[in-house]
Chains A and B, each alone.
Chain A
Amino acid sequence: MPIIEIDGKPIDVAPGTTIMEAAQALGIYIPFFCYHPKLSVAANCRMCLVDVEKAPKPLPACATPVADGMKVSTASRKAKMAQQGVLEFLLINHPLDCPICDQGGECPLQDITMGFANPHSQYTEEKRVVEDKDIGPLIATEMTRCIQCTRCVRFGQEIGGIMELGATGRGERMAIGTYVAQAVRSELSGNMIDLCPVGALTSKPFRFTARNWELKHTPGICPHCSTGCHIDIQSRGREVMRVLPRPAEAVNEEWICDKGRFAYAGLAADDRVTQPLLRVDGEWREVSWAEALDATVGGIEHLLREHGAQQLGGLISARASVEELFLFQGLLRGIGSPHVDHRLTQQDFRADAAMPLYPALNMALEDLEREPVILLCHGFPRNEQPLTNHRLRKAVLAGGQIFVLAEQQRDFNYPVTQIVAGAGADVALYERLCRYLEQPEAIAELQGDTVLVRAAQALRAADNPVILVGSGALRHPRAAELLYWIGQVAALAGGRLSWLGEGANSAGAWIAGCIPHRLPGGAASPQQGLPAGAMWASGLKGYVLMDCEPTLDCWDGAAAEHALCAAELVISIGCFSREAQRYAHVILPAVAFGEGAGRYINNEGREQPFRAAVRAAGEARPGWKILRVLGHSLGVEDFAFMELEEVTRAWQRAVGEFPLDVTPLAPFPHCASGAHTAAPLLRMGEWPLYRSDPLVRRSAPLAQQAVARLHPEQAAALQLHPGVVEITTATGKALLPLVLDRKIPMGAVWVPMGFPETRDLGPAMGPCAIASAPTVAAAALAAV
């Protein structure tokens, strides 16, 4: 082990360590711009020059490996002159416009200049000016400030997985940009803002709204997917100003995705409810809490008297905290209704009894990086769990192999082997895979299925491969059949099942018993309730909704709307009113993102508490308090909680220790094959990245357009041209711009969920018809 000395302090480090790393281990600060521990070494800013004994010239600490006996000085005259020289050169072309720069106050260039520069510049000539680029609604550019450290470029290439920014031109004319005008598309793009050491890349939504020293920092947990990234909620007064990642090596390293970063902008939506709303004779009225609670409790009591508790159902989102989920099911069950669920996007519940305690990754996120062979079953984590996807990407870069079985091709940002069969035929993929796993000797004779055979061979050769059940598998209209086959694949391949949870607290929702067949802790419910989909089909008389918009969040928005509009009583507890006003009778304002406390359980089973960053808006109340009052007023036992901690403790008592590794409670049943829709054209729907929950849907910078996608050959066969098309299903119509996309299988049209425009179309997967839009309607759409 080389022993070196930095500023007179000796240290014993592993061979290959750089001077920078050794200095950091010693707590000695060496200024730097381009160096970043998660990125490759570029050594192009030269800020880290240090004086190494016997070396004729100063050496870059970030790129110089230590050698035994090396004596380094970071503050000798030679080192100081190098630092001053580099800064003087860097500032030659820097505009020094700190007063109007958003980076001011959190800018390494500012800080390092203050700490290390010669206060006098000899430069009197003209400065160069670089044209700003429009790279989309999230990142503002001020390219004259760029110091060409290439951190942003390396991030795209090495972490984001799509290289979009580059350094074009040479010497004095070198500039960072996309060359052709285009928006960056990486779902991790916001991290470049954090990485940029100057004000060249700043956050567009946050721009010019606050100085960093005015902001209060509150540690939080991202509510948008099951990764559970650690975030830093920065607020001023009562307003959340921005969200940044908080370093957590085991969870999100130091990144977050753009959904987690910019969804907060949805808090400014004009339909945020801050006062209880009551529908009186068809009119919405703002009322006091007392009045709203009277109406709610009275309404529920009336319903219980008239129709019995079996006519009341409760649906809650997987973004609710463990405490809220626990109280929610306690409330419903306490007044006698077994119908409680959180799995809004699911449709097929035939495998419920066999499901494990909760959808668990069954390993640490960090372990995922080291898996050599993974079979991903129906999922697209790049959209659904962006930072879990980042771990999968690392697994591939480290030489791992990922096979994906799915109903359509997708844009993975790392090489994977995609094996697709259009909707309806995709279940059979698993069946065939099982055959190849079972009879390896027969493989040679099989024709035409080479990729699947290759997957089978890789799975057999691997020791305990990971069979990763994606969120798309549970959402599948024939999920139970898929699960049966996935179970078979795992058994035949000697692999282990691992699950990608969908919501931030999917794990918590299962464990807390917000499912119709199990109580908190997983014990079977004595009274089996209706799962989400069946609650619509049965047309209950009353519904309690918490933090969800069933018309947009559910597998079949049209059925949800129909059932809700027909019900006698719909209580909506949430933050927004636009959708709720279509069907609810009472809207109780709950606290929104950043305003509440509680805990989530992420995909790994990691319990992550969070607290409020800002005060609740207006009259909004924490969800757990609303539920407590309702429970108490309706005479539910043990609901007299005063503090959140009491709820947490009650939950802990009810659940006990929950395992981090789970297995199915029983083998998945072999279900009869669901009627395969033999429609000439199938609507295939999924929730796009930024349409997956009420808050992100309202975030203006994350706005996404609803479009229909067709394979070009399918479009040609139907004689459709890009333009506006009309999609028709049994329940409704939608007018959407048509986009041609080779990733969509023949016989299907991709139509997104989560948009008011497509709400009336009904099930995410089902028969539909498509035609060029009537001209009048198309013109109307174009005018919007």
Chain B
Amino acid sequence: MLSEQALTEIARERAKYPEDRAQSALLAALRIAQEDQGFLATEVMDYVAHLLGIEPIRAYEVATFYSMYDLQPVGRHKICVCGSVSCFLRGSDQILAHLEEQLGIKVGETTPDGLFTLREVECLGACLGAPMMQVGDRYYENLTKDRVDSILAALREGGDDVG
């Protein structure tokens, strides 16, 4: 179900913890599985739980807690807009509304062309640059509607890491 490489990486994570603490490797194992598979289907979580010898429900609990895990297929770019206090005070709701309008989707949805998924998440620890969002591995801070437009345009043109 997972690639050789993913299995090796999970085994390496597992080895970091004592025999009876398999659960400690769960966060990392789920991340590796998601990178390998694109998202965490129930069968993937079951398999990870099986690899670690823990009950599947433990994997479901962790995977549904963190917004970084995707339980459904996502678009090529996952846009995570912070909606927590600092960002909210600096207008994150308007940024979100603007994104919805520009992409033609609601929070939680994926554009029909499979390019963008839009999410609202909790504080990403970049309050200094509020309002902010994360796309892929990268943070975009001090957002305005114009800046959002230019980021979207660059992403549409094929960039993965635009700034």
The yes or no answer to A650 lying at the interface (CB within 8 A) is no
Inter-chain CA distance A163–B56, complex, in Å, is 9
B64 contacts A163, C-beta separation under 8 Å: no
The yes or no answer to A169 lying at the interface (CB within 8 A) is yes
Known: A169-B65, A170-B65. A179 touches B60 (CB 8 A): yes
The yes or no answer to A81 lying at the interface (CB within 8 A) is no
A166 contacts B65, C-beta separation under 8 Å: no
A166 contacts B61, C-beta separation under 8 Å: yes
Interface residues of A in 154-199 (CB under 8 A from B): 162-171, 178-180
| Cβ proximity bits B5-43 to A, threshold 8 Å, 1 near / 0 not | 000000000000000000000000000000000000010
Across the interface, A180 reaches (CB within 8 A) one of B42, B58, B66, B67, namely B42
**Separation in Å of the A316 CB from the closest CB of chain B?**
43
B57 contacts A178, C-beta separation under 8 Å: yes
**Separation in Å of the A34 CB from the closest CB of chain B?**
17
Question: Which residues of B have CB within 8 Å of A179?
Answer: 42, 56-57, 60-61, 64
A164 contacts B65, C-beta separation under 8 Å: no
Which range holds the interface residue count of chain A? Answer: 10 to 19
Q: Can you name the residue of chain B whose Cβ is closest to the Cβ of A167?
A: B61
Q: Can you name the residue of chain A whose Cβ is closest to the Cβ of B57?
A: A166
**Separation in Å of the B119 CB from the closest CB of chain A?**
13
Question: Which residues of B have CB within 8 Å of A163?
Answer: 55, 57-58
Question: Which residues of B have CB within 8 Å of A164?
Answer: 55, 57
Q: Can you name the residue of chain A whose Cβ is closest to the Cβ of B42?
A: A180
Question: Which residues of B have CB within 8 Å of A167?
Answer: 61
Inter-chain CA distance A49–B157, complex, in Å, is 57
Q: Can you name the residue of chain A whose Cβ is closest to the Cβ of B61?
A: A166
| Cβ proximity bits B44-77 to A, threshold 8 Å, 1 near / 0 not | 0000000000011110110011110000000000
Give the tally of cross-chain contacts (CB within 8 A).
33
B42 contacts A166, C-beta separation under 8 Å: no
Question: Which residues of B have CB within 8 Å of A170?
Answer: 64-67
B60 contacts A168, C-beta separation under 8 Å: yes
Q: Can you name the residue of chain A whose Cβ is closest to the Cβ of B63?
A: A168
| Cβ proximity bits A125-168 to B, threshold 8 Å, 1 near / 0 not | 00000000000000000000000000000000000001111111
Inter-chain CA distance A481–B148, complex, in Å, is 81
Inter-chain CA distance A164–B60, complex, in Å, is 11
Inter-chain CA distance A170–B61, complex, in Å, is 9
Inter-chain CA distance A163–B57, complex, in Å, is 7
Q: Can you name the residue of chain A whose Cβ is closest to the Cβ of B55?
A: A163
Question: Which residues of B have CB within 8 Å of A178?
Answer: 57
Inter-chain CA distance A600–B67, complex, in Å, is 56
Question: Which residues of B have CB within 8 Å of A166?
Answer: 57-58, 60-61
B42 contacts A169, C-beta separation under 8 Å: no
**Separation in Å of the A223 CB from the closest CB of chain B?**
33
The residue among B57, B60, B67 with the most chain A CB atoms within 10 A of its own CB is B57
| Cβ proximity bits B95-114 to A, threshold 8 Å, 1 near / 0 not | 00000000000000000000
**Separation in Å of the B81 CB from the closest CB of chain A?**
17
| Cβ proximity bits A624-645 to B, threshold 8 Å, 1 near / 0 not | 0000000000000000000000
**Separation in Å of the B151 CB from the closest CB of chain A?**
27
Q: Can you name the residue of chain A whose Cβ is closest to the Cβ of B45?
A: A179
B55 contacts A169, C-beta separation under 8 Å: no
Question: Which residues of A have CB within 8 Å of B66?
Answer: 170
Inter-chain CA distance A169–B57, complex, in Å, is 12
Across the interface, A162 reaches (CB within 8 A) one of B55, B60, B61, B64, namely B55
Question: Which residues of B have CB within 8 Å of A168?
Answer: 60-61, 64-65
**Separation in Å of the A314 CB from the closest CB of chain B?**
49
Q: Can you name the residue of chain A whose Cβ is closest to the Cβ of B46?
A: A180
**Separation in Å of the B40 CB from the closest CB of chain A?**
12
Inter-chain CA distance A166–B61, complex, in Å, is 6
Inter-chain CA distance A171–B123, complex, in Å, is 13
Inter-chain CA distance A180–B59, complex, in Å, is 12
Question: Which residues of B have CB within 8 Å of A169?
Answer: 64-65
Question: Which residues of B have CB within 8 Å of A165?
Answer: 57
Q: Can you name the residue of chain B whose Cβ is closest to the Cβ of A178?
A: B57
**Separation in Å of the B44 CB from the closest CB of chain A?**
13
Inter-chain CA distance A165–B60, complex, in Å, is 10
**Separation in Å of the A96 CB from the closest CB of chain B?**
27
Inter-chain CA distance A165–B122, complex, in Å, is 26
Inter-chain CA distance A167–B66, complex, in Å, is 13
Question: Which residues of B have CB within 8 Å of A171?
Answer: 122
**Separation in Å of the A201 CB from the closest CB of chain B?**
16
Inter-chain CA distance A53–B112, complex, in Å, is 61
Question: Which residues of A have CB within 8 Å of B57?
Answer: 163-166, 178-179
Question: Which residues of A have CB within 8 Å of B61?
Answer: 166-168, 179
| Cβ proximity bits B74-99 to A, threshold 8 Å, 1 near / 0 not | 00000000000000000000000000
Inter-chain CA distance A170–B67, complex, in Å, is 9
**Separation in Å of the A186 CB from the closest CB of chain B?**
12
**Separation in Å of the A257 CB from the closest CB of chain B?**
20
**Separation in Å of the A384 CB from the closest CB of chain B?**
24
Question: Which residues of A have CB within 8 Å of B55?
Answer: 162-164
Interface residues of B in 105-163 (CB under 8 A from A): 122
Inter-chain CA distance A170–B123, complex, in Å, is 14
Inter-chain CA distance A180–B49, complex, in Å, is 14
- Supply 4 further A-B pairs (C-beta < 8 A) apart from A163-B57, A169-B64, A180-B60: A166-B57, A167-B61, A170-B64, A171-B122
16 A–B contact pairs at CB < 8 A? Answer: A162-B55, A163-B57, A163-B58, A164-B57, A166-B58, A166-B60, A168-B60, A168-B61, A168-B65, A169-B64, A169-B65, A170-B66, A170-B67, A179-B57, A179-B64, A180-B42
Nearest first, the 10 closest Cβ-Cβ pairs linking A and B are A166-B57, A179-B60, A168-B64, A163-B55, A166-B61, A170-B65, A169-B64, A168-B60, A168-B61, A163-B57
Q: Which A residues contact B (CB, under 8 angstroms)? A: 162-171, 178-180
